[in-house]
Amino acid sequence: MTDKSTDPHCLFCKIVAEKVPAEVVASNDKAIAFRDLNPQAPTHVLVIPRRHGANAAESAEHGLMDALVSLAAEVAEEEGLTHGYRLVLNTGPDAGQAVFHTHLHLVGGRNLGWPPG
Ligand code: AMP
Ligand code: ZN
């Protein structure tokens, strides 16, 4: 598998391949960042690896989690999130994971409650 390997049935692989449109805000050779379709905060961006992995553990095996966090930090700076932000990796049914291509949620621009729902 290469860094560009894809799953033809995966929605986010289709976004990587530009077969499904998305509002991309940043990208590099390993990852892309685009706005969530259903934003939960003034800034809600998804950062995903170009290489398909079902969840964070799988993408960690691919050595791609650093790239996701670094790109998220770049977007946070571009978005002016100087008061902070949250990075979320929903994994599995209890966390409500709906898309099985690793995605790091970057949320910010409002006071975020804790504990999360
Ligand atoms: P999760 O529940 O962690 O799997 O989150 C999946 C996220 O993907 C949700 O926040 C959705 O709003 C978002 N989403 C689903 N389809 C799209 C899409 N085509 N473009 C952008 N975001 C999407
Ligand atoms: Zn995929």
The predicted-structure confidence for 8-19, as pLDDT tens digits, reads as follows: 999 999 999 999
Is the domain defined by 11-108 classed in CATH 3.30.428.10? yes
Ligand 1 close to Cβ of residue 97 (< 6 A)? yes
The domain limits of the chain are 11-108
Q: Which pair of tokens denotes residue 71? A: 């790109």
Which residues on neighbouring strands pair with residue 48, listed in sequence order?
32
3 state DSSP class of 5 = coil
Cβ of 87 below 6 Å from ligand 1: no
For the question of whether the overall pTM of this predicted structure is more than 0.85, the answer is yes
Regions of the chain with pLDDT less than 70: 1-4
Nearest CA residue ID for atom 12, ligand 1: 38
pLDDT of residue 100: 98
Q: What is the DSSP string of 51-79?
A: S--SSHHHHHHTT-HHHHHHHHHHHHHHT
